[in-house]
């Protein structure tokens, strides 16, 4: 798609949408914050907005996410969200992100929020009711979403890899079934199931009922896809779509005292994460750390704020609650992680080979890129085995070619062309919305 055509489509759209909101001189930036990914994406976009204009920008986010935005100088508004643990439990078995009850509360809360803030523009990460309500009120909107949530994304292969956990059926049989009529039927049923709450909530609030979950998840007069096409490709982009490239938060927060020096001196460093939610089992972490450290490998574990203990004490084991990965990853040789989009791009950006244990479909799709780019491998949750993980880890640590490929991918993703395109489209969008930009 020609960027000039995209800008023209935005301009034509705004002639019919500008009105009373031009005088409000305020942007509402919404961070759902159900995972750290949903903090970083709006935070980075928010920093772009601040670099483009001096308009009053208000970030609506859960209380536990406020410190991250305060660290970057954002004004915040505390909001309530559904329990992230319940969300990720549903996602791990192919269920919907939200229940009808969750969404009905969101429609009510977001309507009150719009009344109070009276924004000139709404920018929302993964907050479907807010985007729909804003469009209903003729407020210009920017949505932030993942490419896997786009209507044209190829979601084949997600059923056997994430949703079917029993060991009764061998993986090869399930993989084969996914490409058959049976597999396609199961996938359609799952997609119908995950779309149902959104349709019902829209219907109850007398708003347009969209075709599927994907239309809800990719709303916005400008839809920012927080991905890189080399990692998450979409064949048919709409005029409203724009890839942003990897959204990396380069924080200044230092690593714990002495950790940098220790890792620099270490010959091999493995980093292990389990995500910030409870969807990933943690029982394997202790035995994995024991096996790695017994082989002389320095092992760093981030709990991600989760409450599990590692009883092992070893001079080569370091366990923390959270770490600034933009400082840590340049010192890491291998990352064993939970497959999240944010972590995938962090690893790719810093040239770190990865072993992914994805817990839900979006994580699976991002993890597939590791195998396609030959910089990592997927271990399905149903096949999780410490012995296998250790074998893979040792092979990766000794494979110079995978480290060379990881560095090459890092160099390719470091290009700023996509981000500049995204910033230019945001600039044009804000100008058409009546925002004074630099």
Domains (ranges, CATH) in the chain? 3-245+416-432 (3.40.50.2000), 259-413 (3.40.50.2000)
**Per-residue pLDDT, 380:** 85
**Per-residue pLDDT, 157:** 63
Is the per-residue pLDDT at 20 higher than 50?
no
Those residues with Cβ within 8 angstroms of residue 50's Cβ, 6 or more apart along the chain or in another chain: 57
Helix boundaries (H) for 222-380: 259-265, 285-294, 325-328, 341-349, 361-372
Is the per-residue pLDDT at 21 higher than 80?
no
Three-state DSSP class for 41?
Answer: helix
Q: How far apart are CA 198 and CA 297, in angstroms?
A: 47
Is the per-residue pLDDT at 318 higher than 90?
yes
Q: For the chain, how far is it from start to end, CA to CA, in angstroms?
A: 26
DSSP string for 179-221: TSHHHHHHHHHHHHHHHHHHHHHHHHTT-PPPSSHHHHHT-SS
Confidence band, pLDDT 50/70/90 cuts, at residue 180: confident
Whether residue 355 contacts residue 375, with contact meaning beta carbons closer than 8 Å, is answered with: no
**Per-residue pLDDT, 415:** 85
Whether residue 147 contacts residue 58, with contact meaning beta carbons closer than 8 Å, is answered with: no
pLDDT in tens, 374-428: 999 999 887 889 999 999 999 999 999 999 999 999 999 998 899 999 999 999 9
Is the per-residue pLDDT at 178 higher than 50?
yes
Which secondary-structure segment (H or E) carries 337? strand 334-337
pLDDT in tens, 251-267: 999 999 999 999 999 99
Q: How far apart are CA 191 and CA 215, in angstroms?
A: 12
Is the per-residue pLDDT at 123 higher than 60?
yes
pLDDT in tens, 198-235: 999 999 999 999 999 999 999 999 999 999 999 999 98
For residues 167-179, average pLDDT: 68
- Which is more confident, 254 or 183? 254
pLDDT in tens, 76-116: 999 999 988 888 878 777 788 899 999 999 999 999 999 99
For residues 128-141, average pLDDT: 97
Closest Cα partner for 417 from 278, 239, 242? 242
Is the per-residue pLDDT at 166 higher than 70?
no
For residues 346-351, average pLDDT: 97
pLDDT in tens, 64-83: 999 999 999 999 999 999 98
pLDDT in tens, 280-299: 888 999 999 999 999 999 99
Is the per-residue pLDDT at 141 higher than 90?
yes
CB neighbourhood size of 168 (10 A): 7
**Per-residue pLDDT, 124:** 98
**Per-residue pLDDT, 335:** 99
**Per-residue pLDDT, 171:** 66
Q: How far apart are CA 133 and CA 315, in angstroms?
A: 54
Closest Cα partner for 216 from 233, 201, 229? 201
**Per-residue pLDDT, 158:** 58
Q: How long a stretch of residues is the chain? A: 438
Q: How far apart are CA 15 and CA 33, in angstroms?
A: 33
Half-sphere exposure of 340 (CA within 13 A, CB side): 23
pLDDT in tens, 263-284: 999 999 999 999 877 778 889 9
């Amino acid at each position: 798609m020609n960027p000039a055509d995209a800008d023209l489509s935005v301009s034509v759209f705004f002639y019919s949408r500008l009105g009373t909101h031009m005088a409000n001189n305020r942007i509402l930036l919404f961070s759902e914050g159900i995972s750290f990914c949903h903090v970083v994406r709006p935070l980075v976009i928010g920093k772009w907005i601040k670099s483009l204009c001096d308009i009053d920008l208000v970030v609506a986010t859960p209380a536990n996410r406020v410190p991250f935005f305060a660290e970057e100088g954002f004004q915040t508004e505390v909001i309530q969200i559904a329990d992230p643990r319940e969300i990720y439990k549903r996602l791990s078995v192919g269920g919907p992100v939200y229940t009808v009850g969750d969404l009905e509360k969101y429609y009510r809360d977001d309507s009150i929020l719009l009344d109070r803030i009276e924004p000139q523009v709404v920018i929302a990460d993964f907050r479907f009711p807010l985007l729909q309500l804003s469009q209903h009120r003729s407020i210009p909107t920017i949505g932030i979403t993942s490419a896997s949530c786009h209507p044209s994304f190829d979601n084949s292969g997600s059923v056997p890899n994430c949703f079917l956990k029993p060991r009764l059926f061998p993986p090869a049989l399930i993989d084969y079934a996914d490409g058959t009529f049976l597999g396609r039927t199961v996938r359609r049923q799952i997609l119908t199931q995950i779309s149902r709450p959104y349709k019902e909530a829209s219907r109850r609030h007398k708003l347009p009922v969209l075709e599927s979950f994907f239309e809800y998840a990719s709303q916005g007069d400008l839809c920012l896809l927080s991905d890189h096409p080399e990692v998450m490709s979409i064949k048919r982009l709409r005029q409203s779509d724009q890839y942003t490239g990897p959204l990396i938060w380069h924080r200044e927060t230092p690593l714990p005292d002495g950790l940098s020096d220790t890792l620099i001196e270490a010959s091999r460093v493995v980093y292990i994460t389990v995500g910030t939610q409870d969807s990933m089992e943690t029982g394997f972490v202790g035995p994995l750390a024991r096996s790695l450290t017994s082989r002389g490998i320095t092992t760093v574990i981030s709990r991600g704020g989760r409450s599990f203990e590692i009883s092992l004490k070893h001079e080569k084991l370091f366990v923390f609650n959270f770490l600034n990965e933009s400082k840590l990853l340049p010192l890491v040789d291998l990352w064993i992680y939970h497959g999240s989009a944010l972590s995938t791009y962090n690893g790719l950006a810093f040239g770190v080979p990865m072993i992914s244990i994805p817990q839900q479909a979006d994580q699976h799709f991002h993890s597939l890129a590791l195998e396609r780019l030959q910089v990592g491998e997927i271990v399905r949750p149903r096949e999780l085995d410490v012995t296998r993980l250790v074998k893979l880890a040792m092979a990766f640590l000794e494979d110079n070619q995978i480290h060379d490929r990881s560095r090459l991918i890092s160099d390719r993703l470091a290009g700023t062309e996509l981000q500049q395109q995204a910033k230019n489209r945001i600039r044009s969008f804000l100008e058409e919305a009546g925002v004074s930009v630099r």
